[in-house]
Protein backbone atom coordinates (compact mmCIF):
# COMPACT_ATOMS: atom_id res chain seq x y z
CA UNK A 1 0.00 0.00 0.00
CA UNK A 2 1.15 3.49 -0.85
CA UNK A 3 -0.13 6.49 1.12
CA UNK A 4 0.13 10.17 0.20
CA UNK A 5 -0.97 12.96 2.54
CA UNK A 6 -1.07 16.57 1.36
CA UNK A 7 -1.74 19.57 3.60
CA UNK A 8 -2.53 22.88 1.91
CA UNK A 9 -2.11 25.92 4.14
CA UNK A 10 -3.31 29.42 3.30
CA UNK A 11 -0.61 31.78 2.08
CA UNK A 12 -1.21 34.09 5.06
CA UNK A 13 -1.55 31.30 7.66
CA UNK A 14 1.24 30.99 10.25
CA UNK A 15 3.34 27.85 9.80
CA UNK A 16 6.43 26.95 11.84
CA UNK A 17 7.83 23.61 10.53
CA UNK A 18 10.12 22.79 13.48
CA UNK A 19 7.18 23.08 15.91
CA UNK A 20 4.17 22.02 13.81
CA UNK A 21 5.71 19.26 11.65
CA UNK A 22 8.18 17.08 13.56
CA UNK A 23 9.75 14.34 11.45
CA UNK A 24 11.43 11.37 13.15
CA UNK A 25 12.83 8.10 11.82
CA UNK A 26 9.50 6.31 11.53
CA UNK A 27 6.81 8.98 12.02
CA UNK A 28 5.69 12.54 11.37
CA UNK A 29 3.87 14.51 14.05
CA UNK A 30 1.54 17.29 12.87
CA UNK A 31 0.50 19.77 15.55
CA UNK A 32 -2.19 22.44 15.37
CA UNK A 33 -1.94 22.86 11.60
CA UNK A 34 -4.70 24.99 10.07
CA UNK A 35 -4.95 23.59 6.54
CA UNK A 36 -7.00 21.69 4.01
CA UNK A 37 -6.03 18.04 3.67
CA UNK A 38 -6.07 15.32 1.02
CA UNK A 39 -5.25 11.72 1.85
CA UNK A 40 -4.68 9.15 -0.88
CA UNK A 41 -4.32 5.36 -0.55
CA UNK A 42 -3.04 3.25 -3.47
CA UNK A 43 -3.62 -0.51 -3.40
CA UNK A 44 -2.25 -3.17 -5.71
CA UNK A 45 -4.56 -5.84 -7.13
CA UNK A 46 -3.15 -8.42 -4.69
CA UNK A 47 -4.23 -6.26 -1.73
CA UNK A 48 -7.89 -6.05 -2.80
CA UNK A 49 -10.78 -8.30 -1.72
CA UNK A 50 -11.41 -11.23 -4.10
CA UNK A 51 -14.84 -10.03 -5.28
CA UNK A 52 -13.63 -6.53 -6.09
CA UNK A 53 -10.48 -7.81 -7.78
CA UNK A 54 -12.55 -10.15 -9.98
CA UNK A 55 -14.80 -7.29 -11.12
CA UNK A 56 -11.87 -5.01 -11.92
CA UNK A 57 -10.32 -7.65 -14.17
CA UNK A 58 -13.13 -6.99 -16.69
CA UNK A 59 -13.01 -3.21 -16.24
CA UNK A 60 -11.41 -0.54 -18.38
CA UNK A 61 -12.65 2.55 -16.48
CA UNK A 62 -14.07 2.60 -12.94
CA UNK A 63 -14.44 5.86 -11.03
CA UNK A 64 -16.53 6.83 -8.02
CA UNK A 65 -17.06 10.42 -6.91
CA UNK A 66 -18.87 11.22 -3.67
CA UNK A 67 -19.48 14.75 -2.37
CA UNK A 68 -21.13 15.81 0.87
CA UNK A 69 -24.37 17.78 1.01
CA UNK A 70 -22.67 20.28 3.34
CA UNK A 71 -20.99 23.41 2.02
CA UNK A 72 -17.21 23.24 1.87
CA UNK A 73 -14.41 25.42 0.51
CA UNK A 74 -12.04 24.34 -2.22
CA UNK A 75 -8.34 25.26 -2.39
CA UNK A 76 -5.73 24.92 -5.11
CA UNK A 77 -4.99 22.34 -6.42
CA UNK A 78 -8.19 20.63 -5.16
CA UNK A 79 -10.62 22.94 -6.95
CA UNK A 80 -13.00 20.68 -8.88
CA UNK A 81 -16.57 20.04 -7.76
CA UNK A 82 -19.39 17.60 -8.44
CA UNK A 83 -23.01 17.77 -7.32
CA UNK A 84 -23.67 16.23 -3.88
CA UNK A 85 -24.26 12.49 -3.83
CA UNK A 86 -22.69 9.37 -5.27
CA UNK A 87 -21.47 9.38 -8.89
CA UNK A 88 -20.27 6.18 -10.58
CA UNK A 89 -18.50 6.10 -13.97
CA UNK A 90 -17.79 2.77 -15.64
CA UNK A 91 -16.43 1.35 -18.90
CA UNK A 92 -16.00 -2.36 -19.53
CA UNK A 93 -13.18 -3.87 -21.54
CA UNK A 94 -15.58 -4.02 -24.49
CA UNK A 95 -15.61 -0.23 -24.62
CA UNK A 96 -18.84 1.26 -25.97
CA UNK A 97 -20.60 -2.11 -26.04
CA UNK A 98 -23.08 -2.12 -23.15
CA UNK A 99 -23.43 -5.54 -21.61
CA UNK A 100 -25.09 -6.52 -18.38
CA UNK A 101 -22.64 -7.07 -15.55
CA UNK A 102 -24.37 -8.63 -12.57
CA UNK A 103 -21.46 -7.84 -10.24
CA UNK A 104 -21.38 -4.03 -10.30
CA UNK A 105 -24.75 -3.17 -8.73
CA UNK A 106 -24.35 -5.74 -5.91
CA UNK A 107 -20.87 -4.32 -5.29
CA UNK A 108 -22.23 -0.76 -5.01
CA UNK A 109 -24.92 -1.91 -2.59
CA UNK A 110 -22.36 -3.80 -0.56
CA UNK A 111 -20.07 -0.76 -0.37
CA UNK A 112 -22.61 2.04 0.11
CA UNK A 113 -25.80 0.43 1.44
CA UNK A 114 -28.71 -1.66 0.21
CA UNK A 115 -30.91 1.43 -0.29
CA UNK A 116 -29.12 2.23 -3.57
CA UNK A 117 -31.54 1.72 -6.47
CA UNK A 118 -29.26 -0.13 -8.86
CA UNK A 119 -30.29 -3.28 -10.72
CA UNK A 120 -27.95 -3.70 -13.69
CA UNK A 121 -25.78 -1.79 -16.14
CA UNK A 122 -28.41 -1.96 -18.89
CA UNK A 123 -31.32 -0.88 -16.70
CA UNK A 124 -29.88 1.61 -14.22
CA UNK A 125 -26.88 3.27 -15.89
CA UNK A 126 -27.03 5.94 -18.59
CA UNK A 127 -24.72 6.74 -21.50
CA UNK A 128 -23.37 10.32 -21.44
CA UNK A 129 -22.62 12.13 -24.68
CA UNK A 130 -18.87 12.44 -25.21
CA UNK A 131 -17.38 15.19 -27.37
CA UNK A 132 -14.55 13.03 -28.67
CA UNK A 133 -14.29 9.29 -27.98
CA UNK A 134 -10.73 9.36 -29.31
CA UNK A 135 -9.29 12.01 -27.00
CA UNK A 136 -11.71 12.01 -24.04
CA UNK A 137 -11.01 9.98 -20.92
CA UNK A 138 -14.69 10.01 -19.90
CA UNK A 139 -16.34 6.69 -19.05
CA UNK A 140 -19.08 5.28 -21.26
CA UNK A 141 -21.65 4.67 -18.48
CA UNK A 142 -22.64 6.68 -15.44
CA UNK A 143 -24.90 6.49 -12.40
CA UNK A 144 -25.93 8.86 -9.60
CA UNK A 145 -27.89 8.63 -6.39
CA UNK A 146 -28.30 10.79 -3.30
CA UNK A 147 -26.09 9.61 -0.42
CA UNK A 148 -25.99 11.97 2.58
CA UNK A 149 -23.47 9.89 4.54
CA UNK A 150 -20.53 7.67 3.65
CA UNK A 151 -20.48 5.88 7.02
CA UNK A 152 -21.44 2.48 5.56
CA UNK A 153 -18.51 2.66 3.13
CA UNK A 154 -16.11 3.64 5.90
CA UNK A 155 -17.10 0.69 8.07
CA UNK A 156 -16.84 -1.67 5.10
CA UNK A 157 -13.34 -0.48 4.21
CA UNK A 158 -12.20 -0.81 7.82
CA UNK A 159 -13.37 -4.41 7.88
CA UNK A 160 -11.77 -5.28 4.52
CA UNK A 161 -8.41 -3.51 4.88
CA UNK A 162 -7.55 -3.15 8.57
CA UNK A 163 -6.88 -5.98 10.99
CA UNK A 164 -8.61 -5.85 14.36
CA UNK A 165 -5.29 -5.03 16.06
CA UNK A 166 -4.18 -2.29 13.65
CA UNK A 167 -5.63 0.72 15.50
CA UNK A 168 -3.67 3.19 13.37
CA UNK A 169 -5.32 1.86 10.22
CA UNK A 170 -8.79 1.85 11.83
CA UNK A 171 -8.41 5.43 13.07
CA UNK A 172 -7.12 6.63 9.71
CA UNK A 173 -10.02 5.08 7.77
CA UNK A 174 -12.59 6.36 10.29
CA UNK A 175 -11.72 9.93 9.34
CA UNK A 176 -13.48 9.34 6.00
CA UNK A 177 -16.83 9.89 7.74
CA UNK A 178 -16.07 13.61 8.07
CA UNK A 179 -14.56 14.03 4.58
CA UNK A 180 -16.05 16.55 2.15
CA UNK A 181 -15.40 14.35 -0.88
CA UNK A 182 -14.19 10.81 -1.54
CA UNK A 183 -12.91 9.42 -4.85
CA UNK A 184 -12.21 5.85 -5.95
CA UNK A 185 -10.26 5.27 -9.18
CA UNK A 186 -9.11 2.08 -10.86
CA UNK A 187 -6.11 2.19 -13.21
CA UNK A 188 -6.40 -0.67 -15.72
CA UNK A 189 -2.78 -0.24 -16.85
CA UNK A 190 -1.08 -0.51 -13.47
CA UNK A 191 -3.92 -2.59 -11.91
CA UNK A 192 -4.10 -0.32 -8.88
CA UNK A 193 -7.05 1.07 -6.95
CA UNK A 194 -6.75 4.59 -5.51
CA UNK A 195 -8.97 5.94 -2.71
CA UNK A 196 -8.72 9.72 -2.16
CA UNK A 197 -10.44 11.85 0.47
CA UNK A 198 -10.51 15.63 0.87
CA UNK A 199 -11.17 17.76 3.95
CA UNK A 200 -11.49 21.51 3.45
CA UNK A 201 -10.73 22.28 7.11
CA UNK A 202 -9.68 20.58 10.37
CA UNK A 203 -12.24 18.54 12.35
CA UNK A 204 -15.04 20.52 14.05
CA UNK A 205 -14.00 21.98 17.37
CA UNK A 206 -10.29 21.73 16.57
CA UNK A 207 -8.04 24.70 15.79
CA UNK A 208 -5.89 22.60 13.49
CA UNK A 209 -4.85 19.10 12.46
CA UNK A 210 -3.14 16.97 15.10
CA UNK A 211 -1.97 13.82 13.29
CA UNK A 212 0.63 11.22 14.10
CA UNK A 213 1.59 9.52 10.83
CA UNK A 214 3.53 6.32 11.48
CA UNK A 215 4.95 3.77 9.08
CA UNK A 216 3.87 0.26 9.96
CA UNK A 217 6.75 -1.93 11.09
CA UNK A 218 4.97 -5.02 9.71
CA UNK A 219 4.80 -3.73 6.13
CA UNK A 220 8.11 -3.24 4.36
CA UNK A 221 6.31 -2.27 1.13
CA UNK A 222 4.31 0.55 2.73
CA UNK A 223 5.34 4.02 1.59
CA UNK A 224 4.02 7.26 3.10
CA UNK A 225 4.63 10.53 1.24
CA UNK A 226 3.92 13.84 2.97
CA UNK A 227 3.43 17.27 1.45
CA UNK A 228 3.11 20.52 3.43
CA UNK A 229 2.32 23.03 0.70
CA UNK A 230 0.84 26.42 0.03
CA UNK A 231 -0.35 28.03 -3.18
CA UNK A 232 2.03 30.50 -4.83
CA UNK A 233 1.54 32.96 -7.68
CA UNK A 234 2.00 31.20 -11.03
CA UNK A 235 3.91 32.69 -13.98
CA UNK A 236 1.66 31.23 -16.70
CA UNK A 237 -2.12 31.56 -16.63
CA UNK A 238 -2.57 27.83 -17.33
CA UNK A 239 -0.36 26.79 -14.38
CA UNK A 240 -0.71 26.35 -10.65
CA UNK A 241 2.36 26.80 -8.42
CA UNK A 242 2.87 25.15 -5.03
CA UNK A 243 5.69 25.66 -2.56
CA UNK A 244 6.51 24.15 0.82
CA UNK A 245 8.02 20.91 2.10
CA UNK A 246 8.03 17.22 1.09
CA UNK A 247 9.10 14.10 2.99
CA UNK A 248 8.85 10.30 2.91
CA UNK A 249 8.24 8.88 6.36
CA UNK A 250 10.91 6.35 7.25
CA UNK A 251 13.31 7.48 4.51
CA UNK A 252 13.95 11.21 5.00
CA UNK A 253 15.47 12.64 8.15
CA UNK A 254 14.19 16.17 7.54
CA UNK A 255 11.61 18.03 5.48
CA UNK A 256 12.81 19.00 1.99
CA UNK A 257 11.90 22.45 0.59
CA UNK A 258 10.17 22.41 -2.79
CA UNK A 259 8.65 24.72 -5.40
CA UNK A 260 6.98 23.38 -8.55
CA UNK A 261 4.46 24.38 -11.22
CA UNK A 262 2.18 22.34 -13.49
CA UNK A 263 -0.66 22.96 -15.96
CA UNK A 264 -4.09 22.48 -14.38
CA UNK A 265 -7.61 21.95 -15.71
CA UNK A 266 -9.14 23.66 -12.66
CA UNK A 267 -8.33 27.18 -11.46
CA UNK A 268 -9.54 29.33 -8.57
CA UNK A 269 -12.01 32.22 -8.61
CA UNK A 270 -12.37 34.94 -5.94
CA UNK A 271 -14.17 33.90 -2.74
CA UNK A 272 -17.12 36.15 -3.57
CA UNK A 273 -17.70 34.50 -6.98
CA UNK A 274 -20.66 32.49 -5.68
CA UNK A 275 -24.09 31.22 -6.63
CA UNK A 276 -27.21 30.01 -4.84
CA UNK A 277 -29.91 27.64 -6.04
CA UNK A 278 -33.59 27.43 -5.14
CA UNK A 279 -36.98 26.63 -6.64
CA UNK A 280 -39.34 29.46 -7.41
CA UNK A 281 -42.65 29.23 -5.54
CA UNK A 282 -45.21 27.91 -6.02
CA UNK A 283 -43.49 24.89 -7.56
CA UNK A 284 -46.42 22.80 -8.82
CA UNK A 285 -45.65 19.99 -11.26
CA UNK A 286 -43.55 22.30 -13.43
CA UNK A 287 -40.98 23.80 -11.04
CA UNK A 288 -38.52 26.46 -12.12
CA UNK A 289 -34.97 26.24 -10.77
CA UNK A 290 -33.40 29.64 -10.16
CA UNK A 291 -29.62 30.08 -10.03
CA UNK A 292 -28.57 33.43 -8.58
CA UNK A 293 -25.02 34.56 -9.39
CA UNK A 294 -23.06 37.14 -7.44
CA UNK A 295 -21.55 40.16 -9.29
CA UNK A 296 -18.06 38.61 -9.17
CA UNK A 297 -19.37 35.34 -10.59
CA UNK A 298 -20.30 36.90 -13.94
CA UNK A 299 -16.91 38.58 -14.41
CA UNK A 300 -14.73 36.86 -16.98
CA UNK A 301 -12.07 34.76 -15.20
CA UNK A 302 -8.34 35.42 -15.39
CA UNK A 303 -7.73 33.16 -18.38
CA UNK A 304 -5.37 34.19 -21.22
CA UNK A 305 -6.69 37.17 -23.16
CA UNK A 306 -7.07 35.20 -26.38
CA UNK A 307 -8.99 32.38 -24.65
CA UNK A 308 -12.66 31.80 -25.43
CA UNK A 309 -14.70 31.66 -22.20
CA UNK A 310 -18.33 30.73 -21.57
CA UNK A 311 -20.43 30.31 -18.42
CA UNK A 312 -22.07 26.89 -17.90
CA UNK A 313 -24.09 24.87 -15.43
CA UNK A 314 -24.21 21.07 -15.24
CA UNK A 315 -27.33 19.57 -13.66
CA UNK A 316 -27.66 16.08 -12.23
CA UNK A 317 -31.39 15.32 -12.15
CA UNK A 318 -32.90 12.28 -10.38
CA UNK A 319 -35.50 10.20 -12.19
CA UNK A 320 -38.50 12.01 -10.70
CA UNK A 321 -37.56 15.38 -12.19
CA UNK A 322 -36.56 16.03 -15.80
CA UNK A 323 -35.92 18.72 -18.37
CA UNK A 324 -37.83 18.89 -21.66
CA UNK A 325 -35.05 18.61 -24.24
CA UNK A 326 -37.34 19.93 -26.98
CA UNK A 327 -38.18 23.00 -24.94
CA UNK A 328 -34.57 23.81 -23.95
CA UNK A 329 -33.04 23.06 -27.37
CA UNK A 330 -35.14 25.78 -28.99
CA UNK A 331 -33.55 28.62 -30.95
CA UNK A 332 -36.32 31.00 -29.93
CA UNK A 333 -34.38 34.01 -28.63
CA UNK A 334 -37.42 35.33 -26.75
CA UNK A 335 -37.63 32.14 -24.67
CA UNK A 336 -33.87 31.90 -24.09
CA UNK A 337 -33.52 35.57 -23.14
CA UNK A 338 -36.42 35.32 -20.69
CA UNK A 339 -34.45 32.66 -18.78
CA UNK A 340 -30.95 34.13 -19.41
CA UNK A 341 -29.93 30.98 -21.27
CA UNK A 342 -27.75 30.69 -24.36
CA UNK A 343 -28.28 27.08 -25.42
CA UNK A 344 -28.66 23.48 -24.34
CA UNK A 345 -25.24 21.96 -25.07
CA UNK A 346 -25.82 18.33 -24.02
CA UNK A 347 -28.45 16.11 -22.42
CA UNK A 348 -28.41 12.41 -21.59
CA UNK A 349 -30.23 9.83 -19.53
CA UNK A 350 -33.93 9.37 -18.92
CA UNK A 351 -35.77 12.06 -20.91
CA UNK A 352 -39.15 10.39 -21.46
CA UNK A 353 -41.75 13.15 -21.19
CA UNK A 354 -44.75 11.02 -20.15
CA UNK A 355 -43.58 8.06 -18.04
CA UNK A 356 -44.29 8.07 -14.27
CA UNK A 357 -41.34 7.69 -11.96
CA UNK A 358 -42.08 4.16 -10.77
CA UNK A 359 -41.71 2.61 -14.24
CA UNK A 360 -38.29 4.15 -14.99
CA UNK A 361 -35.31 1.87 -14.30
CA UNK A 362 -32.61 4.46 -15.04
CA UNK A 363 -31.34 6.73 -12.27
CA UNK A 364 -32.11 10.06 -14.01
CA UNK A 365 -30.48 12.49 -16.43
CA UNK A 366 -27.75 15.10 -16.93
CA UNK A 367 -27.80 18.31 -18.90
CA UNK A 368 -25.22 20.95 -19.73
CA UNK A 369 -26.50 24.49 -20.31
CA UNK A 370 -24.56 27.53 -21.46
CA UNK A 371 -25.67 30.59 -19.48
CA UNK A 372 -25.92 34.17 -20.58
CA UNK A 373 -24.02 36.77 -18.54
CA UNK A 374 -24.52 40.54 -18.38
CA UNK A 375 -22.19 43.25 -19.58
CA UNK A 376 -22.92 45.21 -16.40
CA UNK A 377 -21.27 43.20 -13.62
CA UNK A 378 -22.21 45.51 -10.75
CA UNK A 379 -25.36 43.56 -9.87
CA UNK A 380 -26.31 39.95 -9.20
CA UNK A 381 -27.66 37.89 -12.08
CA UNK A 382 -30.47 35.30 -12.11
CA UNK A 383 -30.82 32.33 -14.44
CA UNK A 384 -33.98 30.21 -14.51
CA UNK A 385 -34.33 26.66 -15.81
CA UNK A 386 -37.82 25.21 -16.42
CA UNK A 387 -38.12 21.62 -15.17
CA UNK A 388 -40.91 19.06 -14.83
CA UNK A 389 -41.91 16.56 -12.16
CA UNK A 390 -43.01 13.02 -12.89
CA UNK A 391 -45.98 11.36 -11.23
CA UNK A 392 -44.77 9.75 -7.99
CA UNK A 393 -46.13 6.80 -6.03
CA UNK A 394 -49.04 7.42 -3.65
CA UNK A 395 -48.27 7.84 0.04
CA UNK A 396 -50.20 7.83 3.31
CA UNK A 397 -49.49 11.53 3.88
CA UNK A 398 -50.46 12.59 0.37
CA UNK A 399 -47.00 14.07 -0.25
CA UNK A 400 -43.61 12.81 -1.43
CA UNK A 401 -40.27 14.53 -0.86
CA UNK A 402 -38.28 15.16 -4.05
CA UNK A 403 -34.63 16.16 -3.30
CA UNK A 404 -32.46 17.75 -5.98
CA UNK A 405 -28.70 18.24 -5.57
CA UNK A 406 -27.34 21.67 -6.43
CA UNK A 407 -25.82 21.85 -9.90
CA UNK A 408 -22.21 22.88 -10.48
CA UNK A 409 -21.63 26.25 -12.16
CA UNK A 410 -18.35 27.08 -13.87
CA UNK A 411 -16.56 29.04 -16.54
CA UNK A 412 -14.99 26.96 -19.32
CA UNK A 413 -12.09 28.57 -21.19
CA UNK A 414 -9.82 27.31 -23.93
CA UNK A 415 -6.13 26.82 -23.15
CA UNK A 416 -3.12 27.28 -25.43
CA UNK A 417 -2.42 24.53 -27.94
CA UNK A 418 0.88 23.55 -26.33
CA UNK A 419 -0.57 23.06 -22.83
CA UNK A 420 -0.14 19.51 -21.49
CA UNK A 421 -2.83 18.90 -18.88
CA UNK A 422 -1.80 15.31 -18.16
CA UNK A 423 1.25 16.08 -15.98
CA UNK A 424 -0.73 17.42 -13.01
CA UNK A 425 0.00 15.19 -9.95
CA UNK A 426 -3.32 16.29 -8.41
CA UNK A 427 -5.41 15.93 -11.57
CA UNK A 428 -9.04 14.91 -11.19
CA UNK A 429 -10.97 13.73 -14.24
CA UNK A 430 -14.23 11.84 -14.85
CA UNK A 431 -16.45 14.45 -13.23
CA UNK A 432 -19.25 14.01 -15.75
CA UNK A 433 -18.96 17.34 -17.53
CA UNK A 434 -15.33 17.68 -18.58
CA UNK A 435 -15.81 14.98 -21.23
CA UNK A 436 -18.22 17.38 -22.98
CA UNK A 437 -15.36 19.81 -23.65
CA UNK A 438 -12.04 19.65 -25.43
CA UNK A 439 -9.08 17.98 -23.68
CA UNK A 440 -7.33 21.33 -23.06
CA UNK A 441 -10.24 23.19 -21.47
CA UNK A 442 -9.66 25.18 -18.27
CA UNK A 443 -12.46 25.23 -15.66
CA UNK A 444 -13.11 27.99 -13.14
CA UNK A 445 -15.54 26.71 -10.49
CA UNK A 446 -18.00 29.06 -8.78
CA UNK A 447 -18.48 28.64 -5.02
CA UNK A 448 -21.94 27.57 -3.79
CA UNK A 449 -23.41 29.75 -1.05
CA UNK A 450 -24.17 33.39 -0.23
CA UNK A 451 -21.48 35.78 -1.42
CA UNK A 452 -22.26 38.39 1.27
CA UNK A 453 -22.10 36.05 4.27
CA UNK A 454 -19.45 33.34 4.49
CA UNK A 455 -20.90 31.91 7.72
CA UNK A 456 -24.26 31.22 6.10
CA UNK A 457 -22.53 29.19 3.41
CA UNK A 458 -21.35 26.57 5.89
CA UNK A 459 -24.86 26.19 7.31
CA UNK A 460 -26.39 25.70 3.86
CA UNK A 461 -27.32 22.22 2.69
CA UNK A 462 -26.59 21.92 -1.00
CA UNK A 463 -29.82 20.06 -1.73
CA UNK A 464 -33.22 21.55 -2.56
CA UNK A 465 -36.36 19.61 -1.70
CA UNK A 466 -39.87 19.85 -3.15
CA UNK A 467 -42.92 18.52 -1.38
CA UNK A 468 -44.87 16.90 -4.21
CA UNK A 469 -48.63 16.22 -3.79
CA UNK A 470 -49.54 12.62 -4.63
CA UNK A 471 -52.54 10.34 -4.23
CA UNK A 472 -53.22 9.75 -0.54
CA UNK A 473 -53.74 6.17 0.60
CA UNK A 474 -55.14 4.75 3.80
CA UNK A 475 -52.86 2.89 6.19
CA UNK A 476 -52.00 -0.53 4.83
CA UNK A 477 -53.53 0.21 1.42
CA UNK A 478 -50.98 -0.90 -1.19
CA UNK A 479 -52.60 0.98 -4.04
CA UNK A 480 -49.75 0.68 -6.48
CA UNK A 481 -49.08 -2.99 -5.91
CA UNK A 482 -50.77 -6.33 -6.35
CA UNK A 483 -54.45 -6.77 -7.16
CA UNK A 484 -55.42 -3.09 -6.90
CA UNK A 485 -52.73 -2.03 -9.35
CA UNK A 486 -53.91 -4.67 -11.85
CA UNK A 487 -57.49 -3.46 -11.45
CA UNK A 488 -56.41 0.10 -12.16
CA UNK A 489 -54.50 -0.97 -15.25
CA UNK A 490 -57.46 -3.03 -16.50
CA UNK A 491 -59.88 -0.19 -15.83
CA UNK A 492 -57.64 2.28 -17.65
CA UNK A 493 -57.37 -0.08 -20.65
CA UNK A 494 -61.14 -0.56 -20.79
CA UNK A 495 -61.71 3.20 -20.63
CA UNK A 496 -59.25 3.76 -23.48
CA UNK A 497 -60.85 1.04 -25.64
CA UNK A 498 -64.40 2.33 -25.00
CA UNK A 499 -63.29 5.88 -25.80
CA UNK A 500 -61.67 4.70 -29.04
CA UNK A 501 -64.83 2.78 -30.05
CA UNK A 502 -66.99 5.82 -29.27
CA UNK A 503 -64.79 8.04 -31.49
CA UNK A 504 -64.99 5.50 -34.35
CA UNK A 505 -68.79 5.27 -33.94
CA UNK A 506 -69.11 9.07 -34.10
CA UNK A 507 -66.86 9.27 -37.14
CA UNK A 508 -68.91 6.51 -38.84
CA UNK A 509 -72.13 8.35 -38.13
CA UNK A 510 -70.77 11.55 -39.67
CA UNK A 511 -69.56 9.67 -42.77
CA UNK A 512 -72.93 7.92 -43.28
CA UNK A 513 -74.85 11.16 -42.80
CA UNK A 514 -72.66 12.99 -45.32
CA UNK A 515 -73.02 10.16 -47.85
CA UNK A 516 -76.86 10.17 -47.54
CA UNK A 517 -77.14 13.95 -47.93
CA UNK A 518 -74.95 13.99 -51.03
CA UNK A 519 -76.71 10.99 -52.63
CA UNK A 520 -80.29 12.19 -52.00
CA UNK A 521 -80.82 14.61 -54.95
CA UNK A 522 -79.25 12.25 -57.49
CA UNK A 523 -81.43 9.28 -56.50
CA UNK A 524 -84.77 11.19 -56.38
CA UNK A 525 -87.41 9.76 -58.88
CA UNK A 526 -88.15 11.80 -62.02
CA UNK A 527 -91.74 12.86 -62.93
CA UNK A 528 -93.27 11.39 -66.13
CA UNK A 529 -94.47 13.72 -68.85
CA UNK A 530 -98.14 13.55 -69.73
Same domain (yes/no): 246, 317: no
**Do 244 and 330 lie in a common domain?**
no
Domain count, the chain: 2
pLDDT, average across residues 237-258: 90
Q: What values do phi and psi take at 371, rounded to 5?
A: -105, 145
Residues 281 and 144 in one domain: no
**504 in a structural domain:** no
Asked if residue 287 and residue 247 are part of one domain, the reply reads no
What is the per-residue pLDDT across 96-106, written as a single tens digit (0 to 9) for each? Answer: 555 555 688 88
Residue 241 has pLDDT above 70, yes or no: yes
**Long-range CB contact pairs, 41-44, < 8 A, 24+:** 41/1, 41/2, 41/3, 41/194, 41/195, 41/196, 42/1, 42/2, 42/3, 42/4, 42/192, 42/193, 42/194, 43/1, 43/161, 43/192, 43/193, 43/194, 43/195, 44/1, 44/191, 44/192
Is residue 260's pLDDT more than 70? yes
Is residue 502 domain-resident? Answer: no
Structure confidence by residue, pLDDT tens digits, 430-458 = 899 988 888 889 999 999 987 555 555 55
Query: From CA 166, how far away is CA 347, in angstroms rounded?
Result: 47
Domain containing residue 40: 2-264
Domain membership of residue 40 (yes or no) is yes
Residue 33's nearest CA partner among 46, 49, 15 is 15
Residues 367 and 451 reside in one and the same domain: yes
pLDDT, mean of residues 255-278: 93
* Residue 480 in this model has a pLDDT that exceeds 60: no
Question: Both 418 and 306 in a single domain?
Answer: yes
What average pLDDT is seen over the chain? 85
Write the pLDDT tens digit of every residue in 20-79: 899 888 889 999 999 999 999 888 877 777 777 777 888 888 999 999 999 999 999 999
In this structure, is residue 522 part of a structural domain?
A: no
Tell whether 135 and 281 lie within a shared domain.
no
Quick: pLDDT tens for 332-369. Answer: 999 999 999 999 999 999 888 888 888 888 999 999 99
Residue 180 has pLDDT above 50, yes or no: yes
Question: Which one of 264, 283, 298 terminates a domain?
Answer: 264
Does a structural domain hold residue 225? yes
Q: Average pLDDT of 284-310?
A: 91
Amino acid sequence: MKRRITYITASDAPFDPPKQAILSKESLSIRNLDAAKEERFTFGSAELPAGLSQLLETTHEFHIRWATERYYDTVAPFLSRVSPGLHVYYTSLDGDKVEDDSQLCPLLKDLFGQDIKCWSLQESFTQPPILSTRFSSAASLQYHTTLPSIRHFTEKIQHQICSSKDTACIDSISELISADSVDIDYDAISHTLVISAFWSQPPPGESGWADLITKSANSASQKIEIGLLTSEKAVDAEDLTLGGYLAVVGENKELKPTLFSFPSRHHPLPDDATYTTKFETPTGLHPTLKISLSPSAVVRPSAPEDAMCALHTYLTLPSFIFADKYQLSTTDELFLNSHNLVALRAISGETDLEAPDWVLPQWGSNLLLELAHPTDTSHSWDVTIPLHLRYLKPSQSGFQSAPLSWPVVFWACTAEDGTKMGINPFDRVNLGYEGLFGPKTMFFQLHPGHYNNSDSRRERRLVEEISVPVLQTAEGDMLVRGKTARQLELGTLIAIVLGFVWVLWKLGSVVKSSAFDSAGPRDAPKKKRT
